[in-house]
Amino acid sequence: MTAPTTYWLEHAWLGTHVEPGVILTTGPDGRITDLRTGVDSPPPGAEVLRGLTIPGLANAHSHAFHRALRSTVQVGSGTFWTWRDFMYKVAQNLTPDTYYALARAAYAEMALAGITNVGEFHYVHHAPGGTPYADPNAMGEALIEAAAAAGIRITLLDTAYLSAGFGEAPEAHQLRFSDGTADAWAERASALKGGGHARIGAAIHSVRAVPADQLATVARWAEERRAPLHVHLSEQTAENDACRAAHGRTPTQLLADHGVLGPRTTGVHNTHLTDADIALLGGTGTGTCMCPTTERDLADGIGPAARLQHAGSPLSLGSDSHAVIDLLEEARAMELNERLRSRTRGHWTANALLTAATADGHAALGLPDAGRLEAGALADFTTIALDSVRTAGAVPRLGAETAVFAATASDVRHTVVAGRHIVRDGAHTLVPDVPSALSESIAALRA
């Protein structure tokens, strides 16, 4: 429970336009109880949020431990597959305690960037070698606790990761990811507890990591719980080629054949798709989570986001490997990538890009009542400065355009989650020194 609070928003993005002078009231249940426009000055006792207030940003795809890879993986050249080898080495050093420390710091960085909900695609389940911890969900519970300590919501997408490739047993460094079978995965995942700031969902790591005859088990688990289901999909052409060789069809077609696609499912990346794949994803209402900074960092390619959305696939955004944590950059990059490919401008409006980063991102994480500034919605919002060196001089009514095409995470001034001020005037209220927390937790993995 949080104390009811009245906020005066200098400018607020209401989904279709920017309104000046908005009163927003939060209730003890952490929801917005009232929203009134046309209030020219702050009423007595109101908390004043100067700048542009938007709904909290949803980071729909995260691997928290990848935050430890930043800069280190930028040395030299290579491919996705050589990057993955380095990632495995970091994963081997994680324990429940070190993962909690790193995730707390990474989630605090997200709060500073205006993110109020993270979709954590979690697959580091067991000790190195694959031995379960005394508490089989110790790693997942560490992530849930880390999000609470950082003051943000989490949708823990507990991930089935059972094989190294089509018909291949897990390699040594993948043993800690695997439960052996989808049934064993489901039994362990069923013991996870959500509630409050945490929601439990499911994920299929990829079609190469879950045998085809076990895909339906994961899909059924999510369906029975009305839970979100995410899957890495066609990120690499090598995966597509291997899937065709093993099953005579694309990864999207394989998922469709086993009942994985649908409105609660989100394909992450969706980069290398056929026309038939796009029609399948759109026709089933399966979502698409684009992670442009990671996709370009790993030289994955540019996914057909515009065609997917036109076909009926809702778009969300994620920071994935955390090359940077900046959802405004992800939104901007999706549009600019499409401009580079098509050599035309304006594929999405700023309003549409913010919707992907807010309402549609929260929906992909199982929170359709978040991502909007309206009565009854969760009281999760963030305020972006309109007077920084990047944003100064813009017309306030074009605040959405300023946020998407000029602002960065450094321009976030306030973040409120469930009516509770988590970031105030650019400082985290729960983690006093986020840079030190990041440095110390990353150094512990290198010791």
Residues with a known catalytic role? 269, 320
Q: Which two tokens stand for residue 164?
A: 């190294």
Q: Collapsing DSSP states into helix, strand and coil, what is residue 364?
A: helix
| Distance of alpha carbon 117 from alpha carbon 231, whole angstroms | 18
What is the Cα–Cα distance from 440 to 444, expressed in whole angstroms?
6
Beta strands in 27-72 (DSSP E): 32-36, 47-55, 57-62
3-state SS assignment for residue 254: helix
Which amino acid, one-letter code, is at 254? L
Label residue 202 exposed, middle or buried (CB < 10 Å: 0-12, 13-18, 19+).
buried
Report the distance separating Cα 177 and Cα 125, nearest Å: 5
**CA gap 365, 117 in Å, rounded:** 8
Q: Which residues contact 365 (CB under 8 A, 6 or more apart)?
A: 58, 60, 117, 119, 155, 199, 201, 228
- Tokens 């035309």 belong to residue: 344
Quickly tell me which residue has 């960037």 as its tokens.
Answer: 113
Neighbours of 229 (CB within 10 A): 23
Torsion of CA 429, 430, 434, 440, to 10 degrees: 160
Collapsed DSSP state (helix, strand, coil) of residue 168: strand
**Could you give the angle at which helices 434-446 and 96-112 cross, rounded to 10 degrees?**
150
Output the CA–CA distances (angstroms, integers) from residue 105 to 72, 101, 153, 301, 417, in the order listed. Answer: 18, 6, 14, 30, 17
Interstrand relation of 265-269 and 427-428 (parallel, antiparallel or unpaired) = unpaired
Edge-to-edge order in the sheet of strand 427-428: 32-36, 18-26, 5-13, 47-55, 381-384, 412-417, 420-424, 427-428
Helix 138-150 vs helix 96-112: crossing angle, to nearest 10 = 30
Whether residue 268 contacts residue 121, with contact meaning beta carbons closer than 8 Å, is answered with: yes
What would the two tokens of residue 320 be? 């994935």
